[in-house]
Structure 1
Amino acid sequence: MLDQITRNKKVKVSKSKRGPWKVEVSSTAKNTRNFIREIVDNIKIEPNPQKQLISLSIGDPTVYGNLKTSNETIEAVIKAAREGAFNGYAPAVGYQNARQAVAEYLSFDGAEYSYEDVILCSGCSSSLEMCITVLADPLKGQNILVPRPGFPIYRTLAESIGVKVKYYDLIPEKDWEIDLDHLESLIDYKTAAIVLNNPSNPCGSVYSEDHLRKLLAIAYNYQIPIIADEIYDRLVFPGHKFVSLASLNSYVPILVCGGLAKRFLVPGWRLGWVAIHDPIGAFDHGVRQGMVKLSQRTIGSNTLIQGAIPSILKASPQKFFDGLIDTLVENAKICYEILKTAKGIIPYRPQGTMYMMVEIELEKFPEFKDGMTFGQKMIEEESVFCLPGECFEIPGFMRLVLTVPQNLMEEACDRIVDFCNRHYLLS
């Protein structure tokens, strides 16, 4: 067969020099790492067989079946499927009416978008990938600034294409506000973008308008665009307000990332977006066209959901969103009230999203060298699984998911308290 191929193609092959056939992997593949997976895979998940495993680790609100999307959302998809008009390819950037629906959904509190400002993507992670790729050039040795603690997808997406990541600190004692002095100290002439996650995963923080304006002032002073990850946009608790960065009418160009996944409880539907907020035209010199070109790599997002999204965004009732917030608030209250009675840990009350951060005073648990060994032992003894802070670049913490049924939330927290009190200062 090889001889036939070489005769037809007139390719000379030295059979005497042939060795094992080895296909080299690309640098992009080699540089791609799932940092949560790397950490979790090193934790031996062997729960106590006498206790039901309660997983507070995965940020998928649909896992336990207690949180479901609205009937209006389901009916919108059924209607789109029956119409049969959304089974083919859409424009890579998305159908115009779907983009217009997203533009209207995002136009509030002074922010204004047209359909031309919106590109639909395959989930928010795809939106973030597109934004990092269009702004940061590995051939120029550029870097981006990302929060610590923060969701590790930013690092995964950046380093896979050879872009360096620098971490700016968040301050736990100040409701996880950005350490603005630290952030500013990291900026250099190769900084291509600042990534902001508000409301925050994993912290559950919701930033005030005043704090956001201080960040915008730094970005404006150094002429650095911002990638605003707002996937948890309106998942905020009473007494707090979500402020979209684009609503503050600054002169900073912003790429806003979002999607249906969290607020509408449909992460598997893979419908995200990028909204371009650029009042000064800074993105008109290639970034807008670059976004279009990048969207053409995957030929667009889920067309069936695109067909349904105008109805989803307009018809989903407020009582559905209120019910979701009520569930998250109640679970956050349960967690905080129970966990604050434990020895050696400090729960931080969230202001929104689906998560709570808990500090582990490791010096009070000398038998554990780090948060990973603490978490592994908690699985073995109590069958409660939380992600260690190492997943988010902040050792000595753990993240709890607040979307499980209330009875399991209470049971998990009681077990955590028992575990902490049992191992406190045990050597």
Structure 2
Amino acid sequence: MTQSQDDKATAFVVQGSNRTNPEDNGVRKYVEKVSSVSGLSKPLIALAGGDPTGLENVYPPTVVRDKLMEVIRSSSYNSYCPSGGLSQARAAVARYYVNNSSVPLKAEDVFICSGAAGALDLVFASLCNAGDNLLFPEPGFPLFRSIANALNIECRYYQLDETNHFGIQLDSIRKASNERTKAIVVNNPHNPCGHILSTDEMIAVVNIAKELKLPIIADEVYEEIILDEESKFISFLSFSDQVPVFKISSISKLYVAPGWRIGWCVIADKFDSLYDIRAIMKRLSMRLIFPCSLTQAVLPTMLENASLQRQQVTQLIRQNAIAFKSIIQSAHIEGLYVSIPKAGLFLFVKMDPNRINLPDDVVFVDKLLQEQAVGVVPGQAFGIRHYIRIALTTSISNMEQAAYRIIAFCKEMAIN
């Protein structure tokens, strides 16, 4: 046997787990594709991800950055922090939502996690055994599926009504549930659609949750980015005297600090029906990786100064949305339909493949990246065809340039 044959015969072949597959998180796939693309004829305009640090001249407020420096200099937070988070961070989150909840909140009701994703992971893992299922919206954020698949949780879907601003089709919740359903997951405001549930819609969801005896997991991470001044966001915490609620949110969007990795789960449960789940979450929090003590120590200051950020961030996102829509509409492009979302960081743009002369949104996105160097995400990453998601987290000049490039692209496709 030759040396090479001998090496081959003794080589290790190590099989990986089946906890994930390439389609688990379609958004990240496109974000990474855009960030690694090469050989483009124009400077790249990356609008695939929702990283708010792309906004011009927007940072955590000075008082927050000063507090971080003070915390670092103090050397008081260099040790491990308690499971579930620093007591002052947990108490600050509870205070922040005290007026939004229909039941009293205390520090023990809050778990500080590594972003909203970490909070979702903690809740899903605490609620479900392998083979149990959760109800997710479709279209919806693919990270829900990604986390569930890694935990061997079945994903079942209720439908959003495309013809009615992506409101929830209530009967589809009942149809999707069965005896192994553990919770209804609601994303409000919704990513990618930008819809805010009305009070009537929320009451209807709560009534179904009561009927099915299921808690609500409310991903409300875009709660602060309300673009429609006539729309009012109401947290599901307001209904926690009727149904148990896990509220998920984070500092990432409003505070323009996704890299600080601070998120949380707030448990609101009038009848203490989640007693066992709390105990499991506490035990799981002993093995999960939580945010560093330094940034947790700054969280109270961040929440106390939220108003310093809210107006600036919301104004810039709204400005980008209006500018993009105005440019597209002025060009009279047939086959692209742009509407300003009620909330969030994205435009969810409908495309008519017949008028644009492309088969679907995936081909649209791939060709747009190669030919005009604009990176966006296809609707199919969220479970719906013939839409594209465009991040508004960039400069106004980038937003305008992207609109002009998309116009040129659509005109070229129509000719071909």
What TM-score, normalized to structure 2? 0.91
Equivalent residue for 2:107, pick from 101, 108, 115: 115
Return 5+ residue gaps in structure 1 as ranges: 1-17
**Distance in 2 of aligned mates of 1:85 and 1:128:** 29
**Residue of structure 2 in register with 1:4 after alignment:** none
**Residue of structure 1 in register with 2:3 after alignment:** none
**Residue of structure 2 in register with 1:375 after alignment:** 365
**Distance in 1 of aligned mates of 2:138 and 2:309:** 32
Return 5+ residue gaps in structure 2 as ranges: 1-8
**1:359 paired to 2:350:** yes
Deviation at 1:397, TM superposition (A): 0.6
**Distance in 2 of aligned mates of 1:300 and 1:273:** 10
Equivalent residue for 2:327, pick from 332, 338, 342: 338
**8 Å Cα contact 1:47/1:379 also seen in 2:** no
The residue type equivalent to 1:88 in the other structure is S
Q: Report SS of the residue matched to 2:242.
A: coil
**1:130 paired to 2:122:** yes
Alignment of 1:23-62 (within 5 A): 23-28=14-19, 33-38=24-29, 45=37, 48-49=40-41, 51-62=42-53
Q: Report SS of the residue matched to 2:54.
A: coil
Equivalent residue for 1:154, pick from 117, 125, 144: 144
**1:248 paired to 2:262:** no
Deviation at 1:74, TM superposition (A): 0.9
**Residue of structure 2 in register with 1:177 after alignment:** 167
Deviation at 1:195, TM superposition (A): 0.9
**8 Å Cα contact 1:32/1:157 also seen in 2:** no
Q: Report SS of the residue matched to 1:100.
A: helix
Alignment of 1:320-331 (within 5 A): 320-331=309-320
**Distance in 1 of aligned mates of 2:290 and 2:38:** 41
**1:391 paired to 2:381:** yes
Q: Identity across aligned pairs (percent)?
A: 30
**Distance in 1 of aligned mates of 2:188 and 2:73:** 37
Equivalent residue for 2:273, pick from 272, 276, 282: 282
**Distance in 1 of aligned mates of 2:40 and 2:297:** 46
Deviation at 1:371, TM superposition (A): 1.1
**8 Å Cα contact 1:94/1:300 also seen in 2:** yes
Compute the RMSD of aligned alpha carbons.
2.2
1:186–1:29 Cα change, 3 Å: closer
Q: Report SS of the residue matched to 1:131.
A: helix
1:47–1:215 Cα change, 3 Å: farther
Per-residue deviation, residues 260-315 of structure 1 (Å, max 9, x unmatched): 1111110000011110011111101x100011011111253221011111122113
**Residue of structure 2 in register with 1:302 after alignment:** 292
**8 Å Cα contact 2:138/2:159 also seen in 1:** yes
**Residue of structure 2 in register with 1:9 after alignment:** none
What TM-score, normalized to structure 1? 0.89
Q: Report SS of the residue matched to 1:279.
A: coil
**8 Å Cα contact 1:346/1:358 also seen in 2:** yes
Deviation at 1:202, TM superposition (A): 1.0
Per-residue deviation, residues 130-168 of structure 1 (Å, max 9, x unmatched): 111111211xx2111111121111000001121111122
The residue type equivalent to 1:122 in the other structure is S
1:162–1:299 Cα change, 3 Å: closer
Deviation at 1:257, TM superposition (A): 0.8
The residue type equivalent to 1:133 in the other structure is A
**1:187 paired to 2:177:** yes
**Distance in 2 of aligned mates of 1:344 and 1:242:** 31
1:42–1:62 Cα change, 3 Å: closer
Equivalent residue for 1:145, pick from 130, 135, 141: 135
**8 Å Cα contact 1:31/1:160 also seen in 2:** no
Deviation at 1:41, TM superposition (A): 6.8
**8 Å Cα contact 2:24/2:142 also seen in 1:** no
Q: Report SS of the residue matched to 1:156.
A: helix
**8 Å Cα contact 1:121/1:301 also seen in 2:** yes
Equivalent residue for 2:258, pick from 255, 267, 291: 267
**Residue of structure 2 in register with 1:93 after alignment:** 84
Equivalent residue for 1:400, pick from 387, 390, 393: 390
Deviation at 1:29, TM superposition (A): 5.5
**Residue of structure 2 in register with 1:7 after alignment:** none
Q: Report SS of the residue matched to 1:77.
A: helix
**Distance in 2 of aligned mates of 1:19 and 1:411:** 56
Per-residue deviation, residues 399-421 of structure 1 (Å, max 9, x unmatched): 01112111111111122122223
1:328–1:417 Cα change, 3 Å: same
**8 Å Cα contact 1:47/1:383 also seen in 2:** no
